[in-house]
Amino acid sequence: MHPISYLQGAILGALQGIAEPFPISSLGHGVVYPRLLGWNIHQNDDYFLAFLVATHVATAAVLLFMFLDDWKRIVRGLGRSLQAREIAPDDSDARLGWLLVVGTIPAGTIGLLLEHPLRSLFASSASAAAFLIVNGVLLLAFERLRRRPPRPGDYLGDSDARIAKLTWRQAFGVGTAQAAALIPGISRSGITMGSGLLFGLSNEDAARYSFLLATPIIGAAGVLKIPDLLGSAGNGVRGPALLGALCAALTTYVAVKFLLRFFQTNTLTPLGIYCIAFGVFCTLVFAL
Amino acid sequence: MTKNRKLIPWAIAAGVVLIVIAIIYWAEPAGSLPSFFPGHDAGSSHHHFKHGILAFILGVGCFIFAWFQTGPSSRAPAGS
C-alpha cells in the first residue's frame, strides 16, 4: 500500500504548485491540509519529504521555463561582468544576476544549517496555523509600510532595470529574511515580495523578483534531495510523487501567470487577509 | 561596485580556507569532523555532503569577489 495515495499526491502536488508562488506558505499549507482532511501524513515523515522533492523540482523547473529568456540574459550578463571584472553601470542584466546571487547565498546557507532543527521545532499543524496568521499580518504590514503607494502603469517599461536598482545590502537582507520561511506558515515569496515593497519596488516587480529568486533556491533544495526520492525513503511514493509533480507543474504555471497579472492592479492585502482567516479557521478546527 | 584592492588577499585566503573546509566535509564523516565544525556528531558515520557544497560555493564566492576587486575602477554610465 502507498503511504501517499495517488489522489493525495495529486491534491498535495496541486496545492504545492499554487502555494509556492503565492505568498501564503506552501509548507504551511502542506502541513495543515493533511490534518484538515484527516490524512495520516506528517511533514517530517521521510516518505513525505521524499514526495516533496518531486513537487519542488517540478515547481523550480516550471519557474525556470517561464523565465527562461530572462535567465539567458542574466547568465550572459554575469559572463560579461566576469570578463570585464566589473559590473557596467548600464548593464542591468549583470547587476540583476549578481543581486540574485547575493540574495541566494544567505538563504541557502541558513537553509542548509537550520532547516532540520526549525522543521522539527515547528512541526505541528497547530503551530503552522498560528504562523499562517503571523504571515498574514506580515503581508498587511508590508503593504502598510511600503516605501511608496502603487501607481497606475507601475508595471510598464523595463522591470529588470527597476529591480536592478536594489542595493547589495538590500539584496542580502532579502536573502537573509527568506530564512524565516523555514518555519511552516511563513511564506518565502511573501517575505521577498514584502521586502521588495519596503525597498520601493511595485507589486509586480516585487513578484517578479521573488520568482527569479525562488528558482535557484527551490531548484537546488530539490535537486540536492533527489537521492531521498530515489532511495529507500521514496519506496511506495514515487508514483504518487510523479503525479504530484505533474500537478505541481501545471498549477505553478497557472499561478505565476495569474499573479503577474494580479499584481499589476492588486496588492498583498487580500492574500494577507486570506492567511489570517485561514490560520484562524485552522486554529479553531484543531482546537476543537 | 566599490573597489578595495586591500581586500583581495583576504578574499583569496578566505576562499582557500572555505574550499579546504568543503573537502574536509566531503572526505570525513560527521564523527571525525573537528568539534567546532557545524554538523560534528561524535560517532556518526554520516557525511555532511551539503555542508561541503555550501562551503565550496562560499569559497568560490570569495574568489569571484577577489576577481572583481582586481578590475578597473567604476566608471559612469555612457552618456551621463
Q: Chain B partners of A108 at a C-beta cutoff of 8 Å?
A: 54, 57
More confident residue, A204 or B12: B12
Ramachandran category for residue A166: left, alpha or beta (phi over 0 → left; psi -120 to 50 → alpha): beta
Question: What are the structural domain ranges in chain A?
Answer: 6-287
The pLDDT score that the predictor gives to residue B78 is 44
Q: How near does any CA of chain A get to the CA of B22, in Å?
A: 13
Flag whether pLDDT at B76 surpasses 60. no
Mean pLDDT of A107-120: 80
**Beta carbons of B23 and B52 less than 8 angstroms apart:** yes
Asked if A56 and A221 count as a contact pair (C-beta separation under 8 A), the reply is yes
For A248-259, the pLDDT digits (tens) are 999 999 999 999
> Cell match 505533474: residue?
A246
At B74 the pLDDT is: 58
Q: At what angle do helices A6-19 and A26-36 cross, to 10 degrees?
A: 150
pLDDT at residue number B80: 37
As a whole-number percent, the residues of chain A with pLDDT over 90 amount to: 51
* B10 or B77, which is more confident: B10
CB contact under 8 A, A87 and B64: no
Size of interface A-B (CB pairs under 8 A): 43
Q: What is the mean pLDDT of residues A58-82?
A: 94
Residue type, A161: A
Compute the distance between CA of residue A198 and CA of residue A166 in angstroms, rounded to an integer: 11
Q: Is the pLDDT of residue A33 over 50?
A: yes
- Cross-chain Cβ contact B58/A101 below 8 Å: no
Enumerate long-range contacts of A230-238, CB under 8 Å, 24 or more apart. Answer: A231/A50, A233/A46, A233/A47, A233/A49, A233/A50, A234/A47, A234/A50, A235/A47, A236/A1, A236/A2, A236/A3, A236/A4, A236/A47, A237/A2, A237/A3, A237/A4, A237/A9, A237/A47, A237/A48, A237/A50, A237/A51, A238/A54
Over residues A124-158, the pLDDT tens digits come to: 889 999 999 999 999 999 999 887 776 666 666 77
Contact residues on chain B for A112, CB-CB shorter than 8 A: 50-51, 54
Average pLDDT, chain A: 88
Do the chains contact at A86 and B76, CB–CB below 8 Å?
no
Binary contact (B71, A82; C-beta < 8 A): no
Interface test with B, best of A112, A116, A166, A169 (most B CBs within 10 A): A112
pLDDT at A9 over 70: yes
Grid cell 561541503 in the structure block, residue: B52
Indicate the pLDDT class of residue A227, thresholds 50, 70 and 90. Answer: confident
Q: Which three cell numbers stand for residue A126?
A: 497547530
- Measured between CA atoms, how close is A278 to chain B, in angstroms? 35
Whether pTM exceeds 0.90: no
Instruction: Give pLDDT, residue A194.
Output: 93
Question: Chain B contacts of A82, Cβ < 8 Å?
Answer: 64, 67
pLDDT tens profile A161-183: 889 889 999 999 988 888 888 88
